[in-house]
Structure 1
Amino acid sequence: MTPTHRLRQLAGSLLLSCLSLSAMAAPQHALTLYDEPPKYPATFKHFDYVNPDAPKGGTLRQSSFGGFDSLNPFINKGVAAENVGSIYDTLMRQSLDEPFTEYGLVAGKIEKAPDNSWVRFYIRPEARFHDGHPMRADDVVWTFNTLISKGAPLYRVYYGDVAEAVAETPLTVLFKFKHKNNRELPLILGQLPVLPKHWYETREFTRGNLEIPLGSGPYKVAEVKAGRSVRFERVKDYWAKDLPLNRGQFNFDAMTFDYYRDNTVALEALKAGQFDFIEEMAAKNWANAYNVPAVREGRLIKEELPNGNPTGMQGFVFNLRRPVFQDVRVRKALSLLLDYEWTNKQLFNGAYTRSSSYFENSEMAARGQPSPAELKILEPLRGKIPEQAFTEAFKNPVSDGSGMIREQQREAYKLLQDAGWKIVDDKMVDTQGKPVSIEFLLAQTEFERVLLPFKRNLADLGIELVIRRVEVPQYINRLRSRDFDMLVGGFPQSSSPGNEQREFWTSAAADNPGSRNFMGLRDPAVDQLVEQLINADSRQSLIDHARALDRVLQWGYYVIPNWHIKTWRVAYWNHIGHPAISPKYDIGINTWWIKPDATPAVTQQPPAAAQPDEAH
């Protein structure tokens, strides 16, 4: 990040240029990625997916997984409590029924340079923190600089194209950009939380602890039981409660999160009425575990809500930092040993679809032969990327579901031989003659049943798979230090992928402990494709670049693709209500409410014996 005082020494001609651009721009109430009109005009009263007359009151009780030891979600230290980031307002907020549109929150108006060289935010004069202190431009600049210098490493990448943040007046903030081709950057900055500079002046930002922080949003932290539970209370005099983008939202007087160390225990606690709402992640549970009187009688409601988001990729991630996984033939061979068809039929009740794309469930997923537009993007990289990306459609192996995958095992064995591996004394040894043993790092007991058949298939070829389940804090520490062979990793996608792709795939993120480049991918060709995607100048160009990137990732065999579902599976007690229209891109829990005339399932606190900590 270029120091502020150096930028202020730039020639006066640059300043005049910025001033002339300022005259050309017009403040807006919303931003879109390609300057298309937003769905909601400046005069809108509320979002379509809310009930503007939703009743206020009651407590929403939820569960979480593992534990926590910090209330600072912005640093790469400790485990932050569930939902704690929501106590802070951001400059803008994204609507949940548009692919990528943001509306002004702390910033009532936004002004963007016609050539995309800067963005200016106009702070609402009434914006304030929970202690009554006004939110001002200095808070925004301090937040930005602090996240860049002291926050989790991902912020340095996420805001990497920002040259400088300037508080022009107490109520205006100007962000100057290093480049003019990052169309997403103004919206990325719109997501910036505004932290209280005056509160942190007497505190060390990088210290993770359980001191209740000062926020500005619709909720505040009210009570903390270290590692066990956290309670949020609605701020009755919340400064933005009457803004159109908040109308019909944040209806619960309180929200609590109790932590469980076993999801099976958490599910039983839900059915016993100890909390109110759960998103069910396990197909087996969805099919079989809710056969209880409360569900049959309509008191505990099971519902599938449509999910319009790209599902992205979940998979068994190879850590390329380990020499054993650096040969693509090895990675492909191991991929052949997951019998998805048997797993889906026997373990998931046929509920899932196999994923093959890193942009699954979207128009950005690579399908069939590459289009002329994709080939134009890929051609300059010929010889640097897998040749199959130019001529073949990627396909996962398909078994007959019988549990016998002899053909796939034979193909895998041939690939391993080609890579220099061989069988010695009934054990597979690598090119160094070392028996192959792979540790699979887990934090959840539920995934062990999925891995056991995979373990058996590897064992048939003399490969040992060690399933290592650890507690959540140890898991997070090992993930950050990249101390694993394989793990289950997720790469979620939005309808408008952009800067976050650097965190997933680029060389710069490979050794960043806060990034999601779990596999340690370092490939200049992938780096180039990511930058081209971020700099796409139209929706179609974005689609073409995403598909081109997808093809290269697919043929790299960096993960063993898992599965996805196109709905959210939720269960909740019938004293909870939600709007008739669900948002396309989110569950929208902040639009739900407690029915004022309904009786909660159970009002007493759960017994201590039923309160070990865990989420999905």
Structure 2
Amino acid sequence: MKPQTPTPPKRRAATATALPDRAGVARVLGVSLLALAAVVGMARSETIVSHGISTFGELKYPADFPHFDLVDPNAPQGGRMTFRGTGASTTFDSLNPFILKGQAAQGLGLLYDSLLAGSTDEPDAAYGLVAETLEYPEDRSWVIFNLRPEARFSDGTPITAEDVVFTHQVLVEKGSPSYQVILRDIESVEALEPHRVKFTFREGASTRDLPALAGGLSILPKHYYETVEFAESTMVPPVGSGQFVIRDAQPGRSIEYCRNPDYWAKDLPVNIGSGNFECYVYEYYQDSTAAFEAFKSGGYLFHQEFSSLIWATGYDFPAVSRGWVVKEELPDNRPAGTQGFWFNLRLAKFQDPRVREALGMMFNFEWSNETLFFGLYNRTDSFFENSPLQAEGLPEGEELALLEEFRDQLPPEIFTEPAFTPTESTTRQLDRRALRAASALMDEAGWEVGADGLRRNAAGEVFTLEFIEDQPTMERVLAPYVSNLRALGVDAKITRIDAAQIQQRQDDFNYDIMSGRFVMSLTPSMELRQIFSSAAAEAKGSANLAGVADPVVDALIEKIIASKTREEVEIRSRALDRVLRAKHIWVPNWYSGQHLVAYWDVFGKPGQQPPYSRGDELWWSDTEKLGSLRAQGALR
């Protein structure tokens, strides 16, 4: 499995985009759109005035809270946290994460603040950062943010309402095409006063999450982009609105973010106890093997492991046995992650769901788990795996009533069979039972085996299937799958290309099947449009890897977004999960429900891990531990 981006040392109320990384089992920034409902105070005829918002129920923290509970408010500041640069590429050539051009460096979110910031221990709450307060009516048809007058960009220029207006405009007009999907329900943004900005939402839109979406946008400096072209990639460090600035950026090698000594918000309650390092560094390596070898010798300090083989067999190096490197399994309380091999439904050969189901049958998870994964994983079958959002059994009650609205547009088995779960295979690589079932489906779909053993359609076209990959670690999983597909008569192959080519081919939808992982929210909302909606299916650079374009899926997404209670979210998400699973848009992969991490023992950390993250965003540098390891010659 390809790794996720290490957790950056800041919390965001919302992420403006969920564009997936472009290589292998990419992660996407699992997008959590935090929303509102908590009434903290009233003013001027039914307008709610608050220091924060929450999707359902009351906010945990009052207006005068000093800091979040799970942080150490006395955490020392300073030192360095170093990660491996992973995910999107083995290199970078751009410091602009908002456009499709170029390979953006990791960690660029450290440069930007937003109007709101998320809590460490609430799944769907956010509190004022650049905005001191927000105002909104009970129907949430608009929101006004009152900015802190002391807020500054990294060059010392005040952050004003005009910058917030500019941010929205430039993202829609010049940003990645996905922003047009993400921000489509924002009707207008206007500066009412220098530090007061109003977002008005589209009439008829589901507004539950829109104030938090607006509050989660990275704030961009209008004055800076008056002389710099926003739509072009660049290696010139931009002016940002956040706590860190770029100290050094060397494409293909590393990027270093260090604290802005003049950062205005370091003592705000939402920042106390987090972002404790002086610098955060992402080190880039050509492949995972080179990266792991560097970690073992102290080339970087924090490593999240995504290879079961290495986790089971690779941690016998001296630094572990001497106690210099700590190996931990941290619980992950989020949905397990939507990970799989996604078919590109934009291609004619994948239009028949029987074909997609047959191809999925040839992936033998049970054999892979026993032979390749050391039994560490469970099979994924749901798009909301290991959560209350996962469909189970036959639909009933309110979920059934919801699906009845679309009965004439859904396959009959939605109502007569349990939610689709991949058939369990034998522990022999090629399961003959699965091969027979898959062969029958391919025959029914018109792809018959010829004298050369390859399947062709009525036009004589061979069924080909190309996996593109840039890391050798995934090939050990794909190679047996390809072998099984070839036994089915599919002309399957693995093509090694570099990460830049993978990104371009994904942006252009130029692939047969794409590995990808999305970290789903406990309160799914507008991010679902980016992953599964018709609008995103043809938006260049979209997170809709499969190209799903289905009116029932679109309608269910909008019902989830419009949910008024958590119960409604769960029921409607289960319905969406059931429909997507019946469409066979992917070959589901595996999950562990844990973060597998290793790190050099030079950190201090709070006593309790936050429930919805790894928690390293709250760590700090322990100078005594670091000094001890240096004295022993373990680290430079």
TM bucket normalised to smaller? over 0.9
Q: Output the CA distance in 1 between the equivalents of 2:560 and 2:245.
A: 38
Partner of 1:570: 597
Q: Output the CA distance in 1 between the equivalents of 2:275 and 2:398.
A: 45
Q: Output the CA distance in 1 between the equivalents of 2:514 and 2:170.
A: 32
Partner of 2:438: 412
Partner of 2:160: 136
8 Å CA contact retained: 2:185, 2:205: no
Partner of 1:261: 286
Q: Output the CA distance in 2 between the equivalents of 1:342 and 1:202.
A: 58
Of 174-183 and 332-341, more deviation after overlay is shown by 174-183
Of 76-85 and 476-485, more deviation after overlay is shown by 76-85
Give yes or no for the alignment of 1:125 onto 2:125: no
> Among 290, 313, 321, which residue is 1:296 paired with?
321
Q: Output the CA distance in 2 between the equivalents of 1:536 and 1:92.
A: 22
Partner of 2:359: 334
1:380 partner letter: E
2:589 partner letter: N
Q: 1:503 to 1:248 in 2, by over 3 A?
A: same
Deviations 1:18-71 (A, max 9, x none): xx995321311110113x111111121111221111111111121113111110
Deviations 1:426-483 (A, max 9, x none): 2221232222221111122211000111111111122121101211111100000000
1:163 partner letter: E
2:242 partner letter: G
Q: Output the CA distance in 2 between the equivalents of 1:22 and 1:590.
A: 39
> Among 396, 409, 412, which residue is 1:384 paired with?
409
8 Å CA contact retained: 1:305, 1:568: yes
8 Å CA contact retained: 2:110, 2:257: no
Q: Output the CA distance in 1 between the equivalents of 2:105 and 2:611.
A: 27
Deviations 1:471-512 (A, max 9, x none): 111110000000000121223211111111111111111111
- Displacement of 1:606 in angstroms is 11
2:465 aligned counterpart, secondary structure: strand
Partner of 2:118: 94
> Among 184, 202, 206, which residue is 1:181 paired with?
206
> Among 231, 252, 260, which residue is 2:256 paired with?
231
Give yes or no for the alignment of 1:307 onto 2:329: no
> Among 396, 411, 419, which residue is 2:422 paired with?
396
8 Å CA contact retained: 1:366, 1:551: yes
Give yes or no for the alignment of 1:151 onto 2:175: yes
Deviations 1:210-265 (A, max 9, x none): 01111121111111112321111112231110011111111111111111111011
1:423 partner letter: V
> Among 131, 135, 153, which residue is 1:111 paired with?
135
Ranges in structure 1 where 5+ consecutive residues have no aligned partner: 1-19, 608-616
Q: Output the CA distance in 2 between the equivalents of 1:395 and 1:131.
A: 54
Q: Output the CA distance in 2 between the equivalents of 1:287 and 1:330.
A: 36
Give yes or no for the alignment of 1:245 onto 2:245: no
Q: Output the CA distance in 2 between the equivalents of 1:551 and 1:110.
A: 37
Q: Output the CA distance in 2 between the equivalents of 1:496 and 1:565.
A: 21
> How many residues of Structure 1 are paired with residues of Structure 2 in the alignment?
587
- Displacement of 1:72 in angstroms is 0.7
Of 586-595 and 20-29, more deviation after overlay is shown by 20-29
- Displacement of 1:374 in angstroms is 0.8
Give yes or no for the alignment of 1:42 onto 2:63: yes
Q: Output the CA distance in 1 between the equivalents of 2:60 and 2:615.
A: 18
1:74 aligned counterpart, secondary structure: coil
Q: Output the CA distance in 2 between the equivalents of 1:403 and 1:590.
A: 41
Partner of 1:523: 550
Partner of 1:16: none
> Among 21, 44, 54, which residue is 1:32 paired with?
54
Partner of 1:283: 308
Partner of 1:55: 76
Q: 1:362 to 1:22 in 2, by over 3 A?
A: farther
2:209 partner letter: E
> Among 491, 500, 515, which residue is 2:527 paired with?
500
Q: Output the CA distance in 2 between the equivalents of 1:288 and 1:33.
A: 43
8 Å CA contact retained: 1:491, 1:516: no
Partner of 1:541: 568
1:451 aligned counterpart, secondary structure: helix
Partner of 2:25: none
Q: Output the CA distance in 1 between the equivalents of 2:272 and 2:186.
A: 33
8 Å CA contact retained: 2:43, 2:49: no
Partner of 1:169: 193
Give me the CA root mean square deviation: 1.8
Partner of 1:76: 100
Q: Output the CA distance in 2 between the equivalents of 1:383 and 1:411.
A: 27
2:169 aligned counterpart, secondary structure: helix
Partner of 1:357: 382
- Displacement of 1:577 in angstroms is 2.1
Give yes or no for the alignment of 1:557 onto 2:557: no
Partner of 1:579: 606
Q: Output the CA distance in 2 between the equivalents of 1:26 and 1:520.
A: 40
- Displacement of 1:138 in angstroms is 0.6
8 Å CA contact retained: 1:21, 1:114: no
Give yes or no for the alignment of 1:209 onto 2:234: yes
- Displacement of 1:561 in angstroms is 0.3
Partner of 2:24: none
Deviations 1:118-141 (A, max 9, x none): 011110111111111111101111
Q: Output the CA distance in 1 between the equivalents of 2:406 and 2:265.
A: 50
2:623 aligned counterpart, secondary structure: coil
Q: Output the CA distance in 2 between the equivalents of 1:283 and 1:602.
A: 30
2:172 aligned counterpart, secondary structure: helix
2:177 partner letter: P
Q: Output the CA distance in 2 between the equivalents of 1:548 and 1:602.
A: 55
- Displacement of 1:292 in angstroms is 1.4
Give yes or no for the alignment of 1:422 onto 2:448: yes
- Displacement of 1:275 in angstroms is 0.8
1:383 partner letter: D
2:626 aligned counterpart, secondary structure: coil
Q: Output the CA distance in 1 between the equivalents of 2:179 and 2:448.
A: 45
1:261 aligned counterpart, secondary structure: coil
Q: Output the CA distance in 1 between the equivalents of 2:444 and 2:44.
A: 62
Q: Output the CA distance in 1 between the equivalents of 2:205 and 2:468.
A: 42
8 Å CA contact retained: 1:274, 1:602: no
Q: Output the CA distance in 2 between the equivalents of 1:102 and 1:81.
A: 27
Ranges in structure 2 where 5+ consecutive residues have no aligned partner: 1-41
Q: 1:121 to 1:322 in 2, by over 3 A?
A: same
2:541 partner letter: G
